[in-house]
Amino acid sequence: MLHIDMHIIWTVVDLLILFVLLRIFLFKPVLGMIEKRKAMIQSSLDDADKANSDAAALKAQYENSLKDAKQESFQIVSEAKDRAQAQYNQIIDKANADAAQIVQQANANAEADREKIMKDAQSELAAVALAAASKLLGTTVDAKTNQSMLDAFLAEAGDGK
């Protein structure tokens, strides 16, 4: 028959008691610590994912802001170039108008000077002609006659142009 020794039974009972005690005092606290640690790690991973997504959104916002700033700077530079070109054209047009006015005034002054010189030359020529006529005639005529002869000569010289 089967013979079971009491030592074996007590050993099995001792092992069962040891298992129950280990389960109560060791496995449950260790499993609780493992669960807490797992929850803490999961929380850290969730926080890291959230921080990454926030950082990506912030990066996209900064990139958009930078892109907008570049576009705005290009627009400002373009507008400044347009204003400078318009001002340049305005200055050139004013300078051309001033130059044309100066040339026109110079031409008018030159024409007036030419007219004056011509009149002076005609007067001198008339005076010389009267002096020559007086010498040829051998007489001097009064100022009134001289003036009428001078006017007639100038009128005739003016028609001869």
pLDDT tens by residue, 114-125: 999 988 887 787
Tell me whether residue 118 is in a domain.
yes
The span from the CA of 32 to the CA of 70, in Å, is 56
Tell me whether residue 144 is in a domain.
yes
Tell me whether residue 71 is in a domain.
yes
Q: Where are the alpha helices (DSSP H) in the chain?
A: 6-22, 28-137, 143-159
Please state the rounded mean pLDDT for residues 7-25: 91
Average pLDDT of the chain, as a whole number = 87
| Sign of the alpha-carbon torsion through 37, 41, 44, 46 | negative
Structural domain of 10 = 6-159
Q: Is residue 13 very low, low, confident or very high in pLDDT (cuts 50, 70, 90)?
A: very high
The span from the CA of 50 to the CA of 44, in Å, is 10
Tell me whether residue 133 is in a domain.
yes
Total structural domains in the chain?
A: 1
The span from the CA of 140 to the CA of 122, in Å, is 21
pLDDT tens by residue, 42-63: 999 999 999 999 999 999 999 9
Q: Is residue 107 very low, low, confident or very high in pLDDT (cuts 50, 70, 90)?
A: very high
Please report the pLDDT score of residue 143 as a whole number: 64
Please report the pLDDT score of residue 76 as a whole number: 96
Tell me whether residue 1 is in a domain.
no
Backbone angles phi, psi at 160, to 5 degrees: -75, -10
Proportion of the chain above pLDDT 70, given as a percent: 88
